[in-house]
Amino acid sequence: MKGYVVIDVEIIDAEAYADFAEKSSAAIAAHGGRVLARTGNV
């Protein structure tokens, strides 16, 4: 079964977000998922 998650966030602490992005990508990959797109320019 496929699922997609779309989020819209306002980043207040860029350093903390960078840490989150790294850890969340690893967690997603550990469960067989993948990030299709990640950008701050929409």
| Token reading at 29 | 């990959």
Specify the pTM. 0.57
Q: What is the pLDDT of residue 41?
A: 58
Length of the chain counted residue by residue: 42
The position carrying tokens 């496929």 is 2
Q: What is the pLDDT of residue 21?
A: 83
pLDDT tens readout for residues 14-33? 899 889 888 988 898 999 99
Percent of the chain with pLDDT over 70: 93
Q: Are 28 and 34 in contact (CB under 8 A)?
A: yes
| Token reading at 13 | 């602490």
